[in-house]
Amino acid sequence: PEGAHRDDAGRLVVGGVDAVALARDFGTPLYVVDEQVARSRAARTLAAFEAAAASVGTQVTVYYAGKAFLSGAVVRWMTEAGLSIDVCTGGELAVALAAGAEPARLGFHGNNKSVGEIERAVAAGVGTIVIDSEIEIERVADAAARAGIRQRVRLRVNSGVHASTHEFLATAHEDQKFGVSLDHAVELGERIRSRPSLDFVGLHCHIGSQIFDSAGFAESAERLLAAHAELSRTAPVPELNLGGGFGIAYTSADEPEPIERIALGIAQAVAEGCRANGVPVPRLAFEPGRSIIGPAGVTLYTVGTVKPVPLDGGVWRHYVSVDGGMSDNARTALYGADYSARIASRRSEAEPALVRVAGKHCESGDIVVDAEYLPHDVAPGDLLAVAATGAYCWSLSNNYNHVPRPPVVAVRDGVARVIVRGETESDLRARDADLDPAEPGRAG
Ligand code: LLP
């Protein structure tokens, strides 16, 4: 993992803390976040986009996309690094506000925000609300009018560019639930402008996640800028938000471009598009989540069983089962995501063997790392570290098979502290209305 090393005894050290000590003190599975890595990736991302924006004569707002992983500590790390925060539900909004994020520096997303959520955002003074559909124009306008304010809003547009990992596709219409179609962007932008309680700041798009080919961002910016320019004929459009989605390395096969180069490439594409359309370069905005917090996380597991299974051709696959799985990391099962695993508790010179790191859930798709080479002496009791689990692992965690969620521990300068408490089996039982001792007569 980024920022980690092995000590003389061959044990993994993260944020100055020995993985064996972490496992002993907090148990496994354990989510570990290297605070320094998270903070420095946030700062570097902001600096990269600021430099890129300056190079084309504009400014930028970088939001941290809280859906990747949000907690009080993370909100503070991000805001201290100078980032704004993007939330997409009332729950995320509540966490950001409770952690002291400045309301004016929050962005609020979502394709189906409830009226209650919109009212809470308006009442809290959220900086911008991203309107995702025609219906939402009236909802947000009415909520702002009732509150007696003028709400800054963006309009999310489906640019027809869909990007994922190593490729991007550009189609006329993309069949998905987010945003309004590019064909209606101008008409709906003008509709927003016609509502006195709304302040239209610009268009938004987000083309996907874990993207390596930044040509998709350029294509999307180009498409959006045509609508942006048309809207600029009636009044200036101050901003353009191009979303998040920058890819990270999960395994050694992934080679993301440095963020500085991505930022510069996008800024140049925007500047070019603006020149072609005869409009000034707007203020830019981005919303990366994964690329900031993903590499800062590592999950520790304890190996429970090792089982060799014969494959065709005299090859063996060793199923290495750990004490977590799809409840703490659903990404492999959900998306076929790739991860890498290492023995964290010792060094081994043993020959590598093909292993599949599996979880403990009752489902054969419960896999953490599909294919990995680990020393063939990997054995029960070994600690395994799975890198780059900082984004969308805790956020997507669940209680499948009544497995409690692990805690999240932040490490920094040799000190570990719990930033999100784990659950216990009794926490889970306490939600069962028929097992709750507080409801006598029901448990029998
Ligand atoms: N902005 C918007 C509007 C988004 O929908 C997203 C992610 C982001 C920003 C941040 O994207 P990022 O920089 O983190 O790629 N659960 C999936 C990822 C879902 C992404 C959803 N939207 C996964 O684990 O791969």
* 3-state class (DSSP) for residue 412: strand
Q: Ligand 1 centre and the CA of 74: distance in Å?
A: 17
3-state secondary structure of 375: strand
pLDDT tens track, the chain, 444 positions: 888 999 999 999 999 999 999 999 999 999 999 999 999 999 999 999 999 999 999 999 999 999 999 999 999 999 999 999 999 999 999 999 999 999 999 999 999 999 999 999 999 999 999 999 999 999 999 999 999 999 999 999 999 999 987 888 888 788 889 999 999 999 999 999 999 999 999 999 999 999 998 899 999 999 999 999 999 999 999 999 999 999 999 999 999 999 999 999 999 999 999 999 999 999 999 999 999 999 999 999 999 999 999 999 989 999 999 999 999 999 999 999 999 999 999 999 999 999 999 999 999 999 999 999 999 999 999 999 999 999 999 999 999 999 999 999 999 999 999 999 999 999 999 999 999 666 555 444
Q: Would you state the pLDDT for residue 165?
A: 78
Instruction: Report pLDDT for 438.
Output: 61
Cβ of 109 closer than 6 Å to ligand 1, yes or no, is: yes
DSSP three-state, residue 126: coil
* Domains of the chain, first to last: 5-29+295-429 (2.40.37.10), 35-288 (3.20.20.10)
HSE, side-chain direction, 13 A CA sphere, residue 177: 3
Would the pTM count as exceeding 0.90? Answer: yes
Q: Report the pLDDT value the prediction gives residue 221, as an integer from 0 to 100.
A: 97
Q: Is residue 291 in contact with ligand 1, taking CB distance under 6 Å?
A: yes
Given a contact cutoff of 8 angstroms between Cβ atoms, the answer to whether 115 and 145 are in contact is no
pLDDT score of 164 = 83
Amino acid at 195: R
Nearest alpha-carbon partner for 130 in 242, 246, 290: 242
- What pLDDT is recorded for position 440? 53
Alpha carbon of 314 to ligand 1 centroid (Å): 42
Nearest protein CA to atom 15 of ligand 1, as residue? 245
Ligand 1 atom showing the smallest separation from residue 294 Cα: 14
Which pLDDT score, from 0 to 100, does residue 443 have?
Answer: 46
Number of C-beta neighbours around residue 194 at 10 A:
11
Instruction: State if residue 392 touches ligand 1 by the CB under 6 angstroms criterion.
Output: yes
Q: Which atom of ligand 1 sits closest to the CA of residue 395?
A: 16
Half-sphere exposure of 118 (CA within 13 A, CB side): 26
- Known binding-site residues for substrate equal 290, 331, 335, 363, 392
Instruction: Go through 237-255 and write b for each residue having 16 or more CB atoms within 10 A of its CB, e for each that does not.
Output: bebbbbbbbbbbbbeeebe
**Atom 20 (ligand 1): residue with closest C-alpha?**
209
CA dist., res. 241 & res. 130, Å (int): 10
Q: Is the CB of 45 under 6 A from ligand 1?
A: no
In the residue annotation, 88 being an active-site residue is answered as: no
Q: Tell how far the Cα of 355 is from the centroid of ligand 1, in angstroms.
A: 30
Binding-site entries for pyridoxal 5'-phosphate? 245, 287-290, 392
The pairing of beta strand 30-34 with beta strand 297-310: antiparallel
pLDDT of residue 50: 98
Predicted pLDDT of residue 444: 42
Residue by residue, DSSP assigns 132-198 as -SHHHHHHHHHHHHHHT--EEEEEEEE-SEEEEBTEEEE-SS--SSSSEEGGGHHHHHHHHHT-TTE
CA of 183 to the centre of ligand 1 (A): 24
Cα of 304 from ligand 1 centre, angstroms: 33
ipTM: 0.99
Is 245 near ligand 1, meaning CB less than 6 Å away? Answer: yes
Residue nearest to ligand 1 atom 19, measured at CA:
209
